[in-house]
């Protein structure tokens, strides 16, 4: 009987838990941004904060860096590593962060 209960417990817990994590898992590449672009408030950083920014603005900047129309130092090199779909997912996730 005990064994039976445990088996149900495991099955139920797994079944119910599988679709949900408390916070959204960032799309590939997104979590790396906060190494330079502060997630929290950092005083007087010359590097823009991206959390909560408009997704369209982030997308415009990244595609600009990627095609060279927007000058930069390191972002011009990093943006070239991402497709439109990847950038859209990253921009949407960053925009949704507080």
Partner 1 sequence: MGINHRMSRREFVGAGAAAVTALAFPLPAFAQAAARVVVIGGGFGGASCARALKQIEPKLQVTLVEPNRTFTACPFSNNVIAGLRSLEEQQFGYDKIAAGGVTVVAQAATAVDAKARTVGLADGTSLAYDRLVLSPGVDLRFEALPGYDEAAAAKMPHAWKAGEQTLLLRKQLEAMDDGGLVVIAAPANPFRCPPGPYERACLIAHYLKTKKPRSKLIILDAKDTFSKQRLFQNAWKELYPGMIEWVSLSQGGKVNSVDPATNTLITDFGNHTAQVANVIPPQRAGRIATIAGATDNTGWCAIDPLTFESKSAPNIHVIGDACIAGSMPKSAFSANSQAKACASAVATLIAGRAPEAPKLINTCYSLAAPGYGFSVAGVYQPKNGLFADVEGAGGVSPADVPRDFRAREADYAQSWFATITAEVFG
Q: Binder to partner 1 among 1, 18, 69, 98 (CB under 8 A)?
A: 18
35 lies in the site for partner 1, by CB under 8 A: yes
82 lies in the site for partner 1, by CB under 8 A: yes
Site of tokens 């070239």 = 80
Residue 75 CA from chain centroid, whole number: 16
Which residue, 56 or 80, has its beta carbon nearer to partner 1? 80
Distance from C-alpha of 65 to C-alpha of 41, rounded to nearest angstrom: 24
Grouping H, G, I as helix, E, B as strand and the rest as coil, residue 77 is helix
96 lies in the site for partner 1, by CB under 8 A: no
- Compute the least distance from the CB of residue 33 to partner 1, in Å: 8
Close Cβ partners of 30 (under 8 Å, ≥ 6 residues apart): 89, 90, 93, 94
21 lies in the site for partner 1, by CB under 8 A: yes
Distance from C-alpha of 43 to C-alpha of 96, rounded to nearest angstrom: 22
Instruction: Enumerate binding residues for partner 1 (CB under 8 A).
Output: 2-3, 5-6, 8-10, 12-14, 16-23, 25-29, 31-40, 42, 45-47, 73-74, 77-82, 86
């Amino acid at each position: 009987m005990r064994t039976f209960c445990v088996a149900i417990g495991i099955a139920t817990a797994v079944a119910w838990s599988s679709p949900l994590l408390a916070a959204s898992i960032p799309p590939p590449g997104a979590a790396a941004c906060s190494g330079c672009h502060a997630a929290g408030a950092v005083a007087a950083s010359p590097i823009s904060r991206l959390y909560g920014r408009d997704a369209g603005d982030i997308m415009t900047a990244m595609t600009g860096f990627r095609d060279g129309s927007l000058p930069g130092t390191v972002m011009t090199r990093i943006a070239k590593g991402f497709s439109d779909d990847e950038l859209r997912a990253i921009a949407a996730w960053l925009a949704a962060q507080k």
